[in-house]
Amino acid sequence: MSGTNSRLVADKIRAHHAAMVAQLSQSVSRVLDAVALANNWEPARQEVVAYIDQELLPHAVAEESTIYASARQFAPLRGLVASLIFEHVCLGRLRNALAVAQTGLEAVSLASAFSHLFDVHAQKEDQFVVQDLENRVDVDLAGILGSMRQLLSGAP
């Protein structure tokens, strides 16, 4: 794959991560605002959980069988990929706890924890996985992104 094309695809992946982090952060801040103003915080909590279910967890599942599968072929990246998959599990646990939070304080704490972990996780993917793969001539990053999109759109 050409260096320029690889860089463009890597930039698309990084931009998508940044967009998800920003949207999640805005959604989480609505939970904080509702609790701070002593308003009903449950609709804002539900909005965060819905965003996680509709966007973030499907993204995580799709990358495990595409970009992670590709990265795992390279021995120096194997431990990192294992740690990223573990973080997907941790994010899932935080989501489940958030979905049943009984108080506003608990919801704010769990939503913030999810948001910060997702942010760090996406930065790790950008800086240590995408960055590594984009510099390998034997990796088809455009094909990997295409497969991810196909999985997420439900296309065969």
Contact residues: Fe ion, CB under 5 A: 60, 125
Report how far residue 58's alpha carbon sits from residue 150's, in angstroms, rounded to the nearest whole number. 12
| CB within 8 Å of 101: residues ≥ 6 apart | 45, 107, 110
Report how far residue 142's alpha carbon sits from residue 5's, in angstroms, rounded to the nearest whole number. 8
**Helix H or strand E encompassing 67:** helix 67-71
Spatial contact of 141 and 33, defined as CB atoms under 8 Å apart: no
Say which residue the tokens 């930065």 belong to.
Answer: 123
Spatial contact of 136 and 123, defined as CB atoms under 8 Å apart: no
Which one, 48 or 71, has the nearer CB to Fe ion?
Answer: 71
* Least spacing, CB of residue 123 vs Fe ion, in Å: 10
Which one, 60 or 133, has the nearer CB to Fe ion?
Answer: 60
Which one, 31 or 60, has the nearer CB to Fe ion?
Answer: 60
* Least spacing, CB of residue 68 vs Fe ion, in Å: 8
Based on its alpha-carbon atoms, the radius of gyration of the chain, rounded to whole angstroms, reads: 17
* Least spacing, CB of residue 108 vs Fe ion, in Å: 24
Which one, 21 or 107, has the nearer CB to Fe ion?
Answer: 21
* Least spacing, CB of residue 59 vs Fe ion, in Å: 6
* Least spacing, CB of residue 60 vs Fe ion, in Å: 5
**Coil, helix or strand at residue 31:** helix
Which one, 125 or 134, has the nearer CB to Fe ion?
Answer: 125
